[in-house]
Amino acid sequence: MSAQGEAAAQDGPLAALAALAAHGPRYRLGLGAPPPGALGWLAADRLLDPYGPELSHLLDTEHRGSGHRTAHAAALTLIAVYAGRVTAAAVLHWALTGRVLDVRPGNVWLRPDPGHGIAEVRLRAFRMLDEADGPDERETTVQHAVLTQHLLPLADALRERTRAGLRQLRGGVAHGCATALGASRAAPELLARRWAAFLDGAPGGLAALGDVATVTRPDGTRRLVYLRRTCCLFHTSAEAVRCASCCLTSREARIAAYEGRS
């Protein structure tokens, strides 16, 4: 393929990635393998081994960076920030376009932030799964790519490694996925319907772990927010603050706090 042809072939992927990045830093995805010599990058599929060095590194980085007291608490915080960064762009892209971006673990690289969370995410290749002619139609759904293949196996690995509660881990999965919808200025009613569609038939019992509400910000914009029914224990870290969606805060106080955000 000529240089011009290669550039033209990239127009679609680059435009889609740019549109996602416009929603905020957590929706920014790189494309291709990490640069040669780049340090700290982890292959997402290697994280599913509960005793592998990759998961050890990711968990230990969050443990130290957040100042958590236990690996149990670090795991609960980690799964929430992971879902809200590594696969969030795919959830948002699906909600807005109906297309299923390939964020299965074999297609993802990530670099943990030494302070807290995930610093960078890259896709090995830009693919839309719903364009594939697979033998099993379930393999092309957003639930399969994001949950069945990626986040729920990671939650299982963290459960095995730290004995953190599976319900709480899955609550972090639901929270990370749902908050992706709050990045969009699309009508909250539309986004709420998309969230209900995401939960329809989703594995892991995620529908029972939180719900969404519409708030009006000081500038008059209306946004969809997620209200958790599980806790990630981030308030027990060195930060000693509750997340905005923390179930330890009353529903009324959480909604008021979200409405006060600029």
Q: How confident is the model at residue 177 (pLDDT cuts 50, 70, 90)?
A: very high
Q: How confident is the model at residue 240 (pLDDT cuts 50, 70, 90)?
A: low
Structure token pair of residue 175: 């929270």
Rounded CA-CA distance 123/107 in Å is 6
Domain boundaries, the chain: 20-259
Phi, psi of 122 (to 5 degrees): -135, 145
Rounded CA-CA distance 138/203 in Å is 12
Q: What fold does the segment set 20-259 form as a domain?
A: Transferase(Phosphotransferase); domain 1 (1.10.510)
Q: CA end-to-end span of the chain, whole Å?
A: 48
The pLDDT tens digits of the residues spanning 180-233 come to: 998 888 899 999 999 999 999 899 999 999 999 999 989 989 999 999 998 877
